[in-house]
């Protein structure tokens, strides 16, 4: 199935509504587009209103048969369910055939986090000191310092009070626009603030013009999420860390390290911007893994004879 195929009008209309009315982030919209393309491909010429629960179950079975994992299928079902809710709200459908249909279970994978030593090795890695490397260090320091999502970091502006988010150097805080356009304010560490000041001191040497984004490319344009990923891959390779690192690992590391130090799950929830404590509880498993390793390594009666 080609996820890049042209979508039918009903799918494009729903995506437009998500973008304009719900202000869904661009990377989230990409996921919706892929899942709606799957639904359109399965349905072929049939409109969504013609599909029944039996059809949706058949589509789920086909997705599972292609090797797609339970989490990915659950995401697709969520996108389809949202589509039908939108159709019902607009009186274009009478029922939601996705309701009550669940994805097959898959193994629960815990988010991967770097150790504090790995984070230090990565962030303290020497660089050439070019404009772009000064920018990159500021981005990665802020990622780990404040536990930001990739979309939150790339959306930051230089102007205070921006609806996209900004850094308040005097207060040592960063305000970001998170999921569902919810704003939250998170502390920024001293090393991240220093890296950000160093970046702002040289940002004007790039052809930024009227660009308001905090992080810009060599051409002065807004730094996209994909560009941030690419620069992180380059930085990790140069650091010689020897492990695969993606942007969200900074967020996972931020959360797990804070929880290990403080044990305050509610505080971590607020800092991450999770609407539900259930989203944050996964880090308690990471914490227990850490404690188990410490126990096995240090307790006199835990070591094998």
Active site residues: 149, 179, 248, 251, 274, 283
User: What SS3 class is residue 234?
Assistant: helix
Distances, alpha carbon 25 to alpha carbons 30, 192, 206, 265, in Å: 9, 25, 27, 26
Distance, in Å, from the CA atom of 144 to the CA atom of 249, rounded to the nearest integer, reads 9
Distance CA 115, CA 235 (A): 17
How far apart, in Å, are the Cα atoms of 113 and each of 58, 147, 150, 274, 288?
37, 12, 16, 18, 13
With residues binned 3-state (H G I as helix, E B as strand, rest as coil), the percentages for the chain, rounded to 5, are: 55, 5, 40
DSSP string, 168-206: ETTTTEEEEE-GGG-EEEEE--HHHHHHHHHHHHHHTTS
CA-CA distance, 129 to 178, in Å (whole number)? Answer: 31
What's the token pair of residue 211? 């660009």
Read off the DSSP letter of residue 105.
P
Rounded Cα distance between 135 and 214, Å, is 10
Q: Residue 186 and residue 172: Cα distance in Å, rounded?
A: 9
């Amino acid at each position: 199935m080609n996820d890049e195929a042209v979508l039918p009008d009903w799918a494009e209309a729903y995506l437009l509504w998500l973008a304009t009315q719900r202000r869904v982030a661009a990377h989230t919209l990409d996921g919706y587009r892929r899942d709606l393309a799957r639904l359109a491909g399965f349905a072929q010429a049939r409109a969504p209103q013609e599909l029944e629960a039996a059809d949706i179950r058949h589509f789920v079975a086909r997705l599972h048969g292609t090797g797609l994992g339970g989490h990915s299928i659950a995401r697709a079902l969520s996108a389809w369910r949202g589509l039908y809710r939108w159709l019902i709200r607009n009186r274009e459908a009478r029922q939601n055939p996705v309701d009550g249909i669940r994805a097959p279970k898959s193994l629960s994978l815990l988010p991967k986090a770097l150790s504090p030593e790995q984070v230090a090795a990565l962030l303290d890695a020497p660089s050439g000191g070019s404009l772009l490397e000064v920018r990159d260090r500021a981005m990665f320091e802020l990622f780990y310092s404040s536990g930001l999502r990739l979309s939150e970091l790339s959306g930051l502006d230089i102007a205070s009070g921006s609806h996209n988010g900004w850094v308040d150097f005097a207060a040592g805080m960063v305000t970001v626009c998170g999921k569902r356009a919810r704003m939250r304010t998170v502390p920024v560490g001293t090393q991240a603030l220093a890296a950000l000041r160093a970046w702002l001191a040289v940002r004007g040497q790039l052809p930024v013009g009227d660009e308001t984004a905090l992080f810009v490319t060599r051409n002065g344009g807004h730094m996209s999420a994909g560009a941030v990923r690419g620069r992180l891959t380059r930085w990790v390779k140069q650091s010689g860390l020897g492990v695969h690192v993606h942007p969200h690992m900074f967020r996972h590391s931020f959360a797990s390290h804070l929880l290990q130090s403080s044990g305050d799950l509610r505080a971590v929830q607020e800092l991450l911007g999770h609407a539900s404590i259930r989203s944050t509880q996964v880090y308690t498993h990471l914490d227990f893994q850490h404690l188990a390793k410490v126990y096995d390594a240090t307790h006199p009666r835990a070591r094998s004879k």
